[in-house]
Amino acid sequence: MKPDLSVEVCGVKFKNPIVVASATPSKDAAYMKKCADAGAGGIIAKTVTYEPKLHKYVSPRFTVLQKRGWPHSFSNYSCEFLANYTPEEWYEEMKAAAKYCHEHNVVLVGSISGGSLEEWAKLAADMESTGVDMLELNFGCPHPRDLGYKSGQELGSDPEAAAEVVETVVNAVKIPVFVKLTAEAVDPLIVARKVQAKGASGLTVINRFPALEIDMETGRPILHSTFAGVNGPWMRPIMLKWVAKIAREIDIPISATNGIWEWQDVVKSIMVGASTVQTCTALMYSPRGYKKIGDFVQGLEKFMDAKGYRTIAEMRGITLGKILTWDKVDRETKAVSIVDKERCTGCKMCQNWCFYGAISYEGENGKVKANISDRCDGCGLCASLCPRDAIHMEGPVPVFLGDFS
């Protein structure tokens, strides 16, 4: 029997935990239907706002940093704003999307961003009337700024203001309300506690970072000449940290987002406590496009089957009890690096990575191999960087260097 991938979050059942994040892939009803057809368990619509400056996009607005590492390790650097519809226009899109999603067993979440408490309340109530199953409050978008009021990341960085908005929205609707947190400028755990106290049903952890990249020839900021947002596969460890920290202390559901590039990232997110896992960059920057949704679902299912997990609940949060406090980490046990002579090509790069004088080379007739002496300190750098994976570590207890992906 196949594992059961369904999850229940705040009384709402998702057929699987893969959720399309609020971004370009959910930019209108037609594209939300594509997300549903690709197998998503849930979809979060692009954020709606009354602010006209967030409706009108700039061109160009997407680029990639570290392109030589794409499609494995790179940065999505972009400045697409919120839904480019007025709220009244957007509600018609949402009604069409809600009808299609409910016919196809897909959870639909509305995302909103207001400029005042009155706007937040009205947006929430009007969005609820379109038939969405949940709301997500966008307290993490890196773009809204210089508007004369707190919005996006700037609002999410103010725990008291964030809590006030949550209280207003929760009192305006009957459906579950999630808060999308920012990692910028304040401990997200502080904000999480504040919004939970005001009735937030769940948390989305965590939005991407505001950033700046420039054109070196002119000194001008690239794209629209101001700050933009940055994320990519490299954000996974940052996201996992915040999901774990929040999950250990706050008992409401978490939707993990950012750094999700392969199915393994989905598994890791659930292991640190996430109930659902959001994807956006993978759909936009991968050669697979919307097919990545199916890749995530299939990879998760195969992993669970191989490991004997029958439900998501059996796997959720298993990492949390294994996280030690810093003072309790093992400082006594030592592992050492071992060379696999069959794999070693004698490239001599590893000597550059050893700061203990433990690596030398021996051999003849051009067949030089690395040799590691008992001066090895067990730091792990040579084993991690060897391009031929010709060095591994051994010790009296298992060694965890990661899967290098």
Could you read off the pLDDT of 67-105 as tens digits, one per residue? 999 999 999 999 998 999 999 999 999 999 999 999 999
Domain count, the chain: 2
Could you read off the pLDDT of 193-225 as tens digits, one per residue? 999 999 999 999 999 999 999 999 999 999 999
Q: What is the pLDDT of residue 163?
A: 93
Q: What is the pLDDT of residue 147?
A: 43
Residues 116 and 231 in one domain: yes
Q: Is the pLDDT of residue 185 over 90?
A: no
Residues 293 and 149 in one domain: yes
Is 263 part of any domain?
A: yes
Q: What is the pLDDT of residue 54?
A: 86
Is 317 part of any domain?
A: yes
Mean per-residue pLDDT of the chain:
94
* CATH code for the domain of 378: 3.30.70.20
Amino acid at 205: V
Beta strands at 254-257 and 202-205: parallel, antiparallel or unpaired: parallel
Q: Is the pLDDT of residue 137 over 90?
A: yes
Q: How crowded is residue 196: how many other Cβ atoms within 10 Å of its Cβ?
A: 20
Read off φ and ψ for residue 100, nearest 5 degrees.
Answer: -65, -45
Amino acid at 47: T
Q: Which residue has the tokens 């967030």?
A: 54
* CATH code for the domain of 284: 3.20.20.70
pTM for this prediction: 0.95
DSSP state of 135: E
Determine the Cα angle at 149 with ends 205 and 48, to 5°: 55
Q: Is the pLDDT of residue 304 over 50?
A: yes
- CA-CA-CA-CA torsion sign (69, 70, 75, 77): positive
Is 399 part of any domain?
A: no
Residues 151 and 24 in one domain: yes
b/e sequence 61-74, b meaning 16+ C-beta within 10 Å: eeeeeeeeebeeeb
Q: Which residue has the tokens 């896992």?
A: 277
Q: Is the pLDDT of residue 31 over 70?
A: yes
**CA–CA distance, 391 with 5 (Å, rounded to integer):** 38
Could you say which of 289, 322, 355 is where a domain stops?
322
Q: What is the pLDDT of residue 158?
A: 85
Amino acid at 292: K
pLDDT band at 150 (very low <50, low <70, confident <90, very high): low
**CA–CA distance, 134 with 107 (Å, rounded to integer):** 8
Residues 52 and 201 in one domain: yes
Is 123 part of any domain?
A: yes
Determine the Cα angle at 176 with ends 89 and 268, to 5°: 105
**CA–CA distance, 244 with 250 (Å, rounded to integer):** 10
Residues 345 and 380 in one domain: yes
Phi and psi based region of residue 389 (left: phi greater than 0; alpha: psi -120 to 50; beta: remaining): left
Could you read off the pLDDT of 46-73 as tens digits, one per residue? 999 999 888 899 999 999 999 999 999 9
Could you say which of 259, 289, 322 is where a domain stops?
322
DSSP state of 76: E
Q: Which of 107-111, 126-130, 187-191, 301-305 is the least confident region?
A: 187-191
**CA–CA distance, 277 with 7 (Å, rounded to integer):** 11
Q: Percent of the chain having pLDDT more than 70? A: 96
How far is residue 253 CA from its own chain's centroid? 15
Residues 353 and 225 in one domain: no
Amino acid at 52: P
Q: Which domain holds residue 349?
A: 327-394
Is 404 part of any domain?
A: no
Residues 23 and 67 in one domain: yes
Is 83 part of any domain?
A: yes
Residues 185 and 55 in one domain: yes
pLDDT band at 367 (very low <50, low <70, confident <90, very high): confident
Residues 313 and 346 in one domain: no
